[in-house]
Amino acid sequence: MSRNTELFERACRTIPGGVNSPVRAFRSVGGSPRFITRAQGPYMWDAEDTRYIDYVGSWGPAILGHAHPEVIRAVQEAAVNGLSFGAPTEAEIEIAEAIAARLPSIEKVRLVSSGTEATMSAIRLARGVTGRSKIIKFEGCYHGHADSLLVKAGSGMLTFGNPTSAGVPPEFIKHTLVLDYNKLQAVEAAFQEYGSEIACIIVEPIAGNMNLIKPVPGFLEGLRSLCTQYGALLIFDEVMTGFRAGPQGVQGLTGVTPDITTLAKVIGGGMPVGAFGGRADIMEHIAPIGNVYQAGTLSGNPVAVAAGLVTLKLLAEPGFYERLETQSGKLANGLAERAKAAGITMCTDYVGGMFGLYFRDAVPTTFDEVSTCDVELFKKFFHAMLIKGVYFAPSAYEAGFISSAHDDDVIQQTLDIAEEVFTKL
């Protein structure tokens, strides 16, 4: 039995499903997950010392590649001064200032320890500020696992969803309206019917949890104007896209300004950091000055903040995002060309350091469209690439991530392997 399989069987005896977060278990692609022992730059090594070119990047944070020397040094230096104080530190001010300086929509920001906490808190804040209960989310957008957000749409144009998870009482999500991503008309209809009751819209402004789906022209702008018209708040969940899709996230790319932004992943540089921020008049509703309660024992953790700060500093180097997007383009276009040459129906898309692989004939714009991708073909592709040392996300519905460590050589190696794999699919 392989060492990875051995470890997986052992893990399954004491950890539910053998993993501490579901997608890691390879359930949608089959086989044993790889147990990782170390990672460096664009590579990860598993328990059998097999090396992989990594296109998951810890699901987004590893934008500088793994174990970047400056990030590791910052973590080591912070750690010797103590791991957690439960009292404020200057580094927290610095990271708040760095975030606010780069995202004009953020005047004040509160740190948390995960994306889930960021979105959960942002929604509580939106409800607290507006005094309203209903929220709008879109099918296929993932905002972490807070109860009110674990909802999928039923059929029909406008529907109150059913919980996607056991353990979420229907009463907890009765205020969550689930609509179709990129379909503005349904949002207009929802506001016409419930306008005065809607606290906020939460949206991944570029969706990365149903593969990569970009907003169609006018969608985000439409959400913005509906929120303004009806006095609801617009929350951009940039946990994935923040400092990854571009230097100012999707808000920078589109010029659409949210009222509240949620962040995580990149801003922690691989350590557990999340954040939510927005205009001062909104953020001042939070405790201790306001009446919306939100707290965290490890929030603003000094070691995690040190990793985030140095990451943000390195991202500010001139040309960083241009280079990153160039590499994404080489990978995405290169894969599409090789698939085409081999007669495989597949296309790709990318933005900043994110990409999507779709086993269908055209880039999807909706959840329904992405659902028509050939999942069986994806699984074959995934395993064939994995065996040859390329680690893509183990699901057809996840975006891919590259880092600044994915140089031409690494991309070329990937494309050479893909060329071989496509001809045998």
The residue ranges that bind ligand PMP (CB under 6 A) are 59, 114-116, 119, 142-144, 204, 208-209, 237, 239-240, 264, 274
Nearer to ligand PMP, 233 or 240 (CB): 240
Nearer to ligand PMP, 22 or 82 (CB): 22
Q: How far is the CB of 264 from ligand PMP (least distance, A)?
A: 5
User: Under 8 Å CB-to-CB from 328, ≥6 apart: which residues?
Assistant: 350, 351, 352, 353, 354, 355, 402
User: Under 8 Å CB-to-CB from 20, ≥6 apart: which residues?
Assistant: none
**Catalytically annotated residue among 43, 142, 194, 397:** 142
Q: Yes or no: say if 145 and 208 are a contact pair by the CB < 8 Å rule.
A: no
Q: Closest Cα partner for 207 from 106, 117, 139?
A: 139
Q: How far is the CB of 106 from ligand PMP (least distance, A)?
A: 17
| Annotation says 259 is catalytic | no
The distance from CA 207 to its chain's CA centroid, rounded to whole angstroms, is: 8
Nearer to ligand PMP, 36 or 377 (CB): 36
Q: Yes or no: say if 245 and 351 are a contact pair by the CB < 8 Å rule.
A: yes
Nearer to ligand PMP, 213 or 418 (CB): 213
Residue 397 DSSP one-character state: T
Q: How far is the CB of 81 from ligand PMP (least distance, A)?
A: 26
Q: How far is the CB of 112 from ligand PMP (least distance, A)?
A: 9
Cα-flanking dihedrals φ and ψ of residue 157, to 5°?
-70, -40
**Cα–Cα distance for residue pair 208/228, rounded to 1 Å:** 26
Residue nearest ligand PMP by beta-carbon distance? 115
**Catalytically annotated residue among 180, 237, 259, 349:** 237
Decide: helix, strand or coil at residue 422: helix
Nearer to ligand PMP, 244 or 330 (CB): 244
Q: Yes or no: say if 98 and 267 are a contact pair by the CB < 8 Å rule.
A: no
| Annotation says 374 is catalytic | no
**Cα–Cα distance for residue pair 378/383, rounded to 1 Å:** 9
| Annotation says 409 is catalytic | no
**Catalytically annotated residue among 137, 183, 214, 265:** 265
Q: How far is the CB of 238 from ligand PMP (least distance, A)?
A: 7
Cα distances (angstroms) measured from residue 308 to each of 83, 103, 246, 284: 15, 16, 17, 24
Q: Which residues are catalytic?
A: 142, 237, 265
